Amino acid sequence: MTLGTAPFNLTFSFENGLCPERESSKRTLSDVKTIFYDIAEAEKLLVSENPLIYEFYELPMPQEDGDLAFGTSITYPGTIGDEYFMTKGHFHSILNTAEVYYCLNGHGMMMMENSDGQWECRELNAGTALYVSKGYAHRSINIGTLPLVTFFCFRADAGHDYKTIAAQGFRHLVVKKNGRPTVIENPRWKTV
């Protein structure tokens, strides 16, 4: 059922990001194994388990000019090799779209980059609001021990371009090095 443009309420937990009125979309390791640079390590883990990497609420809002899409994203703690659990990441189909994230719980980073090669990686803690500029692909990365819970909002007609990131990846990754999150160049990044 599509929600109308009439006012409505939804409940999201500050602690875990879950919404009791809606069903989340879940991504397990088998769904996203190719986003990790060490695919062999992902395959090795899949022999014994298929952990939930992240889930999100994609609300069925009208995709019309003037409407807003919003929801929560929950990225779970863990690593594949030395790379932290993260979301697939995306550009918006309407590239001229910004997005706002508000961290409700956990500790993470947001990797952002545009097609010109400019990039930034910003830290997220509970209470941090982050503005992702238009034209930037972005992905949430959990560098903590609790679920990274963010609330997001963007123009509802913007859509998602996952294909570009699936084809080339992000130029930079966040890995655990000497017990700390460290940004490195992606050894598998390629120009498409």
Model confidence pLDDT, tens digit, residues 42-90: 999 999 999 999 999 877 677 777 889 899 999 999 999 999 999 999 9
Residue 191: pLDDT above 80? Answer: no
- Cα 71 to Cα 59: distance, rounded to the nearest angstrom: 7
Please name the helix (run of DSSP H) or strand (run of DSSP E) that holds residue 139, with its range, or none. Answer: strand 136-142
Taking only the tens place, the pLDDT of each residue in 40-55 is: 999 999 999 999 999 9
Structure tokens, 129: 């609001």
Considering the entire predicted model, what is its pTM?
Answer: 0.92
Look-up of token digits 């390791």: 29
Q: Which of 89, 80, 74 is nearest to 36 (CA)?
A: 80
Give me the residue label for tokens 């009791």: 20
Which of 156, 162, 163 is closest to 59 using CA atoms?
Answer: 156
Flag whether pLDDT at 4 surpasses 90. no
Q: Is 19 exposed, middle or buried (0-12, 13-18, 19+ CB in 10 A)?
A: middle
pLDDT tens digit sequence for 154-188:
999 999 999 999 998 999 999 999 999 999 999 98
